[in-house]
Structure 1
Amino acid sequence: MTAGPGEAAAPVVAAAPGAAAGSADTAGPLRLTRDGPLAVLTMDSPPLNLFDAAMWSAWDDAVRRLAADPPRALLVRAEGRVVSAGVDVDVFARLDPAEAEEFWRQRMGITQELERLPCPTVFAAHSLTLTAAFELALACDLVVATEGARFGLVEQRVGFTPAMGGTQRLAQRAGPSRARELVMTGELYRGSTLAQWGVVNALFGQSTFHADAHAYALRLAEGPTRAHAATKAVVRSFLDGGVPAADRMLPALAAEVTRTEDHRRAVTAFLTDGPQHGTPYRGR
């Protein structure tokens, strides 16, 4: 779904220092770069970062490569005036109904692969974020945005429903009533509103947004990677089976973390230097 009149008029925001650090692993509409322990996935298909065949193919390739060689954290961001104006409507016009189930199963697989990454994942939304892009944001662990960023699952405008898992993931974060409201009305909601709903985790100012989002994700990348992975596993177990399921798996998981180098070094540093120790984590 492309933006309506005025939706593409958001101010241009400069890229974050280090956001394109290192050599690019992916060319085309999606760039995969590295800044030390942080992987940065940047949508850059002007003017609207639409999800067309090329964008989806690039996302499929990127999440597979990340799964095969996970970073210590991932930042998803976008260049341009908008994060994404959503799905190119030509996709719906060209899709053979006989092939629709497999088509959407493959797109759902991108969402699931992103969600399964063992590292912390952060989606940074500086402006308009529609349909497929919003659904992928909801598959990330954390979402950061500007107060004025606008989010929408606006598929009802073409008589459709979100098909990459956005509805159910929005219901997880904000509750089923809010999910029905956002999807059924097709309205746009600001970052400040979604922060109140618990969908957006942090709000940053427009002028420094990309730098702030990058620093936020880099801080996670430099943290106790194995412990972060364990936290993700506990939350996933809770979402799949409730508190009893998470309780059952936690002792063995905690034992694994106990054996990590980061944990052992941090305990020693805490006892020696106190809680403000500066021992760096190594992700092991």
Structure 2
Amino acid sequence: MEHPEMTVIYDVDEAVATITLDRPEAMNSLTAAVKADLLAALRRAAGDEAVRAVLLTGSGRAFCAGQDLREHAGNLERGLGLANTVRDHYNPIVLTVTSMDKPVVAAVNGVAAGAGASLAFACDFRVAADTAKFAMAFCGIGLGPDSGASWTLQRLVGPARARELLLLGETVEAARAHEIGLVTQVVPADRLASAARELAVRLAQGPTRAYGATKRALDHAASRPLAEALEREAELQDELAATSDHLAATKAFLSKERPRFEGR
């Protein structure tokens, strides 16, 4: 998982896989090596039955500043353009985050810009430090959105606000981000790690299969008419009705006991 210029730290505890972008001297900006390691870590978490929630964060003063522009400039000078990084790296990363049948929490500890902000928006929850900042920096360097920002932003804040954020590219402070729905929660910077982990552990102790089905139902319904959404809900409910968690939780409810979920 290591390269000379960066490290992605992967750790599992209490059924939570914590993935940390650890390139603080470059504000955790994304080189090809970083993107490859991040994708590998996300796929590892998605495929590990012992992992029931994922916590994504960055080290130092930034969550992720987006694409490493030094590497990008080098590619441009060599005539490589984007070097197909959107299709080969960003798209698979975002699809892995959004499609895994486990909740993903972003702990936004500082600046989240460009693809870094898009990565946070792809997560199911965003807990931000009160010092965090978001910037859709794409137009500022003559590019359009990538990493799913054109899809996720509209669903988080609505099409008009998404257009404003993407076209103007102005920095959004944490309090404003919470006000318009970009983040789930804002906490003091010194409490971010504990607050985000508390949420991730809570999710890891929940009905993992039901969480995954809920994510799939929401994604399906976002672009389908009501009748199709209803049918998809029925299909997913049939699947969940046979799970151990549903059977145990139903018995616990009837016995007036608190259910204990095992993610099965």
TM-score, scaled to structure 1:
0.84
Aligned-residue RMSD, C-alpha = 1.8
Give the whole-Å Cα distance in 1 for the aligned partners of 2:33 and 2:114: 17
More strand by share: 2
Give the whole-Å Cα distance in 2 for the aligned partners of 1:238 and 1:145: 28
2:207 is aligned to 224
Measure how far apart 1:223 and its partner are.
0.2
Give the whole-Å Cα distance in 2 for the aligned partners of 1:279 and 1:182: 42
2:120 is aligned to 137
Measure how far apart 1:162 and its partner are.
2.2
Measure how far apart 1:247 and its partner are.
0.7
Q: CA distance change for structure 1 residues 99 and 150 in 2, over 3 Å: closer, same or farther?
A: closer
2:98 is aligned to 115
Measure how far apart 1:99 and its partner are.
5.6
Measure how far apart 1:265 and its partner are.
1.1
Q: What SS is found at the alignment partner of 1:31?
A: strand
Do the aligned partners of 1:127 and 1:146 also contact (CA within 8 Å) in 2? Answer: yes
Deviations 1:50-94 (A, max 9, x none): 111221121122223233335211110112112122221123313
Do the aligned partners of 2:32 and 2:85 also contact (CA within 8 Å) in 1? Answer: no
Matches within 5 A, 1:1-284: 26-27=1-2, 28-47=6-25, 48-69=27-48, 71-96=51-76, 100=82, 102-106=84-88, 107-272=90-255, 274=256, 277-284=257-264
Q: CA distance change for structure 1 residues 98 and 46 in 2, over 3 Å: closer, same or farther?
A: closer
Do the aligned partners of 1:74 and 1:217 also contact (CA within 8 Å) in 2? Answer: yes
The amino acid that maps onto 1:59 is L
Unaligned 5+ segments in structure 1 are 1-25
The amino acid that maps onto 1:178 is R
Identity over aligned residues, as a percent?
30
Do the aligned partners of 1:82 and 1:129 also contact (CA within 8 Å) in 2? Answer: yes
Give the whole-Å Cα distance in 2 for the aligned partners of 1:173 and 1:247: 22
Q: What SS is found at the alignment partner of 1:56?
A: helix
Deviations 1:166-211 (A, max 9, x none): 1321112111111111111121101221222222112222221101
Q: Name whichever of 243-252 and 181-190 sits farther off.
A: 243-252
Give the whole-Å Cα distance in 1 for the aligned partners of 2:9 and 2:225: 37
TM-score, scaled to structure 2:
0.90
Consecutive aligned runs of 4 or more in structure 1 exceeding 6 Å deviation: none
Measure how far apart 1:108 and its partner are.
1.5
Give the whole-Å Cα distance in 1 for the aligned partners of 2:229 and 2:207: 20
Deviations 1:218-249 (A, max 9, x none): 10011011111111111111113143322111
Q: What SS is found at the alignment partner of 1:283?
A: coil
